[in-house]
Amino acid sequence: NPRSPCCSDVPAWLQTNSGLSSKGSLKGQPGGKEHKTWAKYYVRFLEEYAKYNLSFWAVTTGNEPSAGQMTNYSFQALGFTAEEQRDWVGLDLGPALVVRESDVRAGRYIHGVGVHWYLDTLVPAELSLGTTHHLYPEYYLFGTEACAGWSPSDRGVRLDSWERAEQYAHSIIQVLYCPMFYSMAHFRYCPMGLRVGVSFSQETKLESSAFIRPDGSVVLTILNRSSSEVQFEVYDPAVGFISSSAPAHSLLTLAWNTL
């Protein structure tokens, strides 16, 4: 998990509330000893994994920094404002990761944005993430956490819930017989692939996501959240037309070689 160390790992003595949960942030200011100490935790985390020949291509700055700004928040949290997080990256975390780098511009160390899906029902991702992508197209958007069963109205594990599987597939970004597991399994076919655009020739109930894999093959995942079967054809100039159908409430993956 490239997100670790997580907010739950922050020692209480580094936090303004001297605790692990509720409202609290790092003591001191970016560039100070407390902020540099927390940055060293990340370095140590990576160094320990390196002893076993495990390397990381990226880390995130922590889990849900806004949670640490909420009074009586019941879960482990570390609060950051956007400005505080920016300065901590520029003055402490970034230089620590590149070994005493003197450049303090946070943008030098940032290559993407890690996102969670929990407020998508309030602010649709097409609006929030779409705006972010429009403003900063050079940064990738990377889903780092999404779970179902967290809200008071729908809490807990539901092993038979296909609706939750559709939620996962819709966002793309419990094993046993939980449909969510099989929903995520569809996306194992596109590891580190290049996402490509898919256009529909007419209005449709289908949702899609397509990738070009490192070996040059194409993977297309189709989600049908409607209550009826949908017939469709895929056109790729490299291979021609591919006919298929998506049953009601289904998720399917098509893959083909272009060489």
Assess contact for 255 and 241: CB atoms under 8 A.
no
* Helical segments of 123-174, H only: 125-135, 162-171
Which amino acid, 135?
Answer: L
Catalytic: which of 47, 48, 64, 229?
64
Cβ contacts of 151 within 8 Å, gap of 6 or more: none
What are phi and psi for residue 135, nearest 5 degrees?
A: -75, -35
Alpha-carbon gap, residue 41 to 4, rounded angstroms: 10
What is the chain's alpha carbon radius of gyration, rounded to the nearest angstrom? 21
145 flagged as catalytic:
yes
Catalytic: which of 48, 101, 138, 145?
145
64 flagged as catalytic:
yes
Pairing of strands 140-145, 112-116: parallel
User: What Å distances lie between residue 135 and 22, 103, 130, 131, 195, CA to CA?
Assistant: 32, 24, 9, 6, 19
User: What Å distances lie between residue 81 and 60, 66, 85, CA to CA?
Assistant: 15, 7, 6
Strands (E) located in the chain: 112-116, 140-145, 194-196, 206-212, 218-224, 230-236, 240-246, 250-256
For residue 90, what are its two tokens? 């520029």
Catalytic site positions: 64, 145
